[in-house]
Structure 1
Amino acid sequence: MHELSATAQLAALQAGEFSSRELTTHYLERIAKYDAMLGAFVTVVPELALDEARRADKRLADGDRAPLLGLPLGIKDLFNTAGVRTTFGSAALAETVPAADGWATGLLRQAGAVLVGKTNTPEFGATCYTENSVTAQPSVTPYDVTRYASGSSGGAAAAVAAGLLPVAHASDGAGSIRTPATTCYLVGVKPSLGLVTASVPPSSFFPTAIEGPLARNVADAALLLDVMAHPWKGDLNGWRPEGSFADLQPPKRLKIAVWTETGMDGITPHPETIRAVERTAILLQQLGHEIQEVPIPARWDDTIRRAMRTHFGYLIDLVVDQVVPDQRAAQLTPYIKYLNEIGAELSGADVLTAQAIQVRFASAFAATEADVVLTPVTSGPPVPLGHFESTGVEGIIDRMLEWSVYTPWANLSGQPAVALPSHLDQDGLPYGVQLVGRPRHDLELLALAAQLEAAALWDDVHPPCWSQ
């Protein structure tokens, strides 16, 4: 059953070809078989899942056609789920059981999704690799289990790629949907600012994080996004598109700007990363779009890198002060302690100056005269376990930026972005590309992604554990 897309699984559920209980049992068995190797889940709730599946089957029999009714789903462990443990990837909060769902996670559950568990994430989602003190196993890509599935949505990506979930909820603050999508050969969507209301209240008046879907194809991502794209009425940035993501129309001829340079001194993209962009650009041109190679609009100089360090320190300091009891602070990971110390040293002027620098940096990208921008997602392939911490906690931010250099600007500008698979190299490692659209042109961007998928940008290739 896991070989069917999420969209096909829903159709089969509605046609009575199999039950939600049968489908949920299938996924629970795969989780039991593979999760110890992949590190995809923090918490699995088989009894709750089977009970929700039983109730979904009754609703299906009664003719209910809620958009996700009976479909198994994982929720990223940064986001509250009523009655189900939510650790935020932190040993200091490992026993937290929320009383209510977060906003977007509540929408998914209200749409009939069956919650099978919470997917793995680094502590407070602070890294582009998924490793913490709550779980024994880092999240790894099923294409090579010696390499990270990235982060902070690494568990969600590993689960979908390995056939442990049909689709997954995720979030993206600096690339945390797009880089895991690329390491796991998936489609990942970071919506425009305001399309999805945060399930966790913003800890900053300069929001960069937003929730979105990880899926095996564009239609499945659109399925989840349609449910999530109902902002809370009090969301000051909230908006709704004029149309449905489930009914994407072919895009008009688009002007697409392309660059592959990293903008970071001494960091050059891997040849396969460049190949991914080049083959995508050729296909886009064949589809009738205008392609223009342009220089990167702004470089990652010392000023913006220091501003990003301030940004991470400020946010983590706020989070730790708000949610971690003093008596449990010793359980925080060394990197979070390091960021907390950075944050504690900052003044209000430091934070405002850093945010102004980030705005100026993002504005250079947002001013690009194109409908869509095409870039790599990462500067190289999935990295080996231990890579980011190899030079100590002080070097983690720089090593993360060097690898995920292409993604943070779209968070700072609030633009929609989608990661798409491209190809596997001769070692079987996956590569992908990033498309970034104009603000609030999410429908246009997803339509372009669907057009590339229909034109066979990528092959339907699965990891070794897929058919076992």
Structure 2
Amino acid sequence: MINEAAPSALDTAAAVRTGRTSARETAEAALTRIARLDPELNAIVASDADRAVAQAVEVDRRVAAGEHLPLAGVPLAVKDTEDTVGYRTIHGSRLFADTAHATSDSVLVTRLRAAGCVVVGKSNTPEFATSADTSNLVFGSTRNPYDVDRVAGGSSGGAAVAVASGMVPLATASDGGGSIRIPASACGLPGFKPSLGRVPDGGPHPVDWPLVTTRGVITRTVADLVATLDVVVGPERTDLRSLPAPCEPFSVGVGRTPLPRRIAWSPQLGYAWTEPSILAACGAAVERLAAEGVEVVEIDRVFTSEPYDAWGPLIAAYVQRSVGELDRSLLSDEVREGIEDADRLSARDLLAAEDTCHRLNLELVRVFETCDLLLTPTLHRDPPQFGEAVSWIRATGVFNLTRSPAGTVPVGLSDECLPIGLQIVGPQHDDVGVLALMQHLHP
């Protein structure tokens, strides 16, 4: 199911801009791939061929008029947690299965379409994006393209599978606890969670998970990722968290950033176990950096405790707000139980969770006082089979609580021939440093 030969976003855009193909032909080819591949993988939950072709024709007109479109004609899948015109935003929940079609795009989709992207469908997500298994009661389960009997990760699992299988070269995503990094790692892709506020959210409604989640994209290559970030970052007046535009394009900053002088390598973070083949592949990537002159400092324990005591209450409260007074009987057991936990939370409990974020960041800052970046396995075991109850995502959520930029790059295959990801974490707002090392390890 993995299509290693699928064109990248940059190659696709270059072909459309130079007239070697048209945006319309590119959109029609993507729709054909979706029709052929998605019945087995279940990554795309809605598609509108007529709307996609109409968008593509407009892109062709803009190109012919001489407009420079950095992502001209690139087929785009939009995660089913954000709005795009003409599609329902269902959040993977029966509560919103019959909601009205969106009449405007999210900030992220607006910027991508302005750069020339063509929306070809919506991608699957677990209910309210709360799980690392992209399954829900409306659309069912998204399957891992490396092994369809295993989960694809989440919550941006539909996005990752659509890109890894070659249905589309670009998909929107979001990361509130690992929701970009986990499925990217599970599907053999690079993935990047920008610093909080780097890719703005905003719009008419409050941000879903304001203290922990950030928008982003999933691509086949780091070069695609960097180029796409260049067209979507920058301030947004309706997002209280949005950061100023960087001083120079990421593509420039990444290109001139040298290897880090010193990195921290933490195989376990102090609280997780790692399968031997995963540890070996990640360790080999670290050894490669050491051979290239990077000083490696191994750290057994980064954090004194696991982050769930802070992450769990915040997410429960956010989802409770989204559900409001709607019929809880339509929810999955997992989401309903989480909301019941939130019913018992006090304002003091939520402040305590925020205080824990501060403490975790202080512990991470101590690492960055002597090291430029922190490396750790993205996932500590292979993606589980469907129905297998395991904890497999323990290394990602803590970096949402610290608001850190964090990425993952594929570094090999496990004993079960499943992808292995190496996680790269940077200090506050050092998105360029993380992206530069991702580019070096996965050119």
TM-score over 0.5 for the pair: yes
TM-score range normalised by the length of the shorter chain: over 0.9
Q: In the alignment, which residue of structure 1 is the partner of 2:407?
A: 418
**Matching of residue 300 in structure 1 with residue 305 in structure 2:** yes
Q: Pairwise mapping of residues 372-451 of structure 1 onto structure 2 (< 5 A)?
A: 372-388=373-389, 399=390, 402-451=391-440
Following the alignment from structure 1 to structure 2, what is the Cα–Cα distance between the partners of residues 380 and 341? Answer: 30
* Structure 1 runs not aligned, ≥5 long: 389-398, 455-468
1:67 aligns with 2:56: no
CA displacement at 1:105 relative to structure 2: 1.9
1:50-199 to structure 2, matched below 5 A, reads 50-96=53-99, 97-136=101-140, 138-199=141-202
In structure 2, C-alpha distance between the alignment counterparts of 1:229 and 1:350, rounded to whole Å:
33
Q: What is the CA distance between 1:201 and its match in structure 2?
A: 2.5
The Cα of 1:94 is off from its aligned counterpart by: 1.3
Following the alignment from structure 2 to structure 1, what is the Cα–Cα distance between the partners of residues 230 and 193? 13
Alpha-carbon distance between aligned partners in 1 of 2:404 and 2:13, rounded to the nearest angstrom: 30
Q: Is the contact made by 1:379 and 1:404 (CA closer than 8 Å) also made in structure 2?
A: yes
Q: Does the CA-based 8 Å contact 2:233-2:245 persist in structure 1?
A: yes
Distance 1:278 1:9 in 2: 35
Aligned pair partner of 1:218 in 222, 231, 236: 222
CA–CA distance in 1 between the matches of 2:431 and 2:126?
A: 28
Deviation at 1:234, TM superposition (A): 4.9
CA contact (8 A) 1:365 1:409 kept: no
Between the aligned partners of 1:250 and 1:423, the Cα distance in structure 2 is 27
- 2:283 aligns with 278
What secondary structure, in the 3-state scheme, does the structure 2 residue paired with 1:257 have? Answer: strand
- C-alpha distance in structure 2 between counterparts of 1:288 and 1:10, whole Å: 37
Tell me how far apart the structure 2 counterparts of residues 46 and 263 of structure 1 sit (CA, whole Å).
49
Does the 8 Å contact 2:269/2:302 carry over to 1? no
- Whether contact under 8 Å (1:416, 1:437) holds in the other structure is yes
Confirm or deny: 8 A CA contact 1:214 1:221 kept in the other structure: yes
2:270 pairs with 1:263: yes
Q: How far apart, CA to CA, are the structure 2 residues paired with 1:132 and 1:175?
A: 18
Distance 1:32 1:249 in 2: 38
CA contact (8 A) 1:129 1:151 kept: yes
How many angstroms apart in 2 are the aligned matches of 1:432 and 1:70? 30
Aligned match of 1:461: none
Q: Structure 2 CA distance, aligned partners of 1:276 and 1:211? A: 29
| Paired residue type of 2:258 | K
What SS is found at the alignment partner of 1:25? helix
CA RMSD of aligned residues (A): 1.8
**SS of structure 2 residue aligned to 1:246:** helix
1:249: how far off? Answer: 1.8
| Distance in 2 of aligned mates of 1:133 and 1:16 | 43
DSSP 3-state at the match of 2:250: coil
Q: Secondary structure at the match of 1:431?
A: strand
Residue identity matched to 1:338: E
Could you say if the C-alpha distance between residues 305 and 233 of structure 1 is closer, same or farther in structure 2, counting changes exceeding 3 Å? closer
In the TM superposition, residue 276 of structure 1 has moved relative to its aligned partner by: 2.4
Tell me the SS of whatever aligns to 1:223: helix
Distance in 1, Cα, partners of 2:425 & 2:239: 23
Q: Which runs of 5+ in 2 are unaligned?
A: none
Corresponding residue of 2:32: 29
Matched, 1:251 2:257: yes
Taking a change above 3 Å as real, the CA distance of residues 270 and 115 of structure 1, as seen in their structure-2 partners, is same
TM-score with structure 2 length normalisation? 0.93
Structure 1 counterpart of 2:348: 349
Do 1:366 and 1:413's aligned partners in 2 also have CA atoms closer than 8 Å?
A: no
2:318 aligned with 1:315: yes
In structure 2, C-alpha distance between the alignment counterparts of 1:435 and 1:406, rounded to whole Å = 11
Maintained 8 Å contact 1:276/1:376: no
Paired residues of 2:383 and 2:392 also in contact (CA < 8 A): no
Matches of 1:207 and 1:313 in 2, distance apart? 13
Shift in Å, 1:425: 2.8
Q: Deviations over 1:72-125 (max 9, x none)?
A: 101111011122111111111012222221212221122221000111001110
In 2, Cα distance between the equivalents of 1:241 and 1:338?
Answer: 41
Distance 1:385 1:202, change over 3 A: same
Distance 1:272 1:250, change over 3 A: farther
Deviation for aligned residue 1:432 = 0.9
Return the letter of the residue paired with 1:387: E
Match of 2:294 among 289, 294, 297: 289
Cα distance change, pair 367–202 in 1 and its aligned pair in 2 (3 A)? farther
The separation in 2 between residues aligned to 1:364 and 1:189, in whole angstroms, is 22
Kindly provide the amino acid, as one letter, of the partner of residue 100 in structure 1.
S
C-alpha distance in 1, partners of 2:269/2:302? 11
Partner of 1:339: 338
Decide whether the 8 Å contact of 1:178 with 1:190 is kept in 2. yes
| 2: CA distance, partners of 1:241 / 1:180 | 27
Q: Which residue of 1 aligns with 2:44?
A: 41
For the residue of structure 2 that corresponds to 1:403, the secondary structure is: coil
Specify the code of the residue in structure 2 equivalent to 1:5.
S
SS of the counterpart of 2:354?
Answer: helix
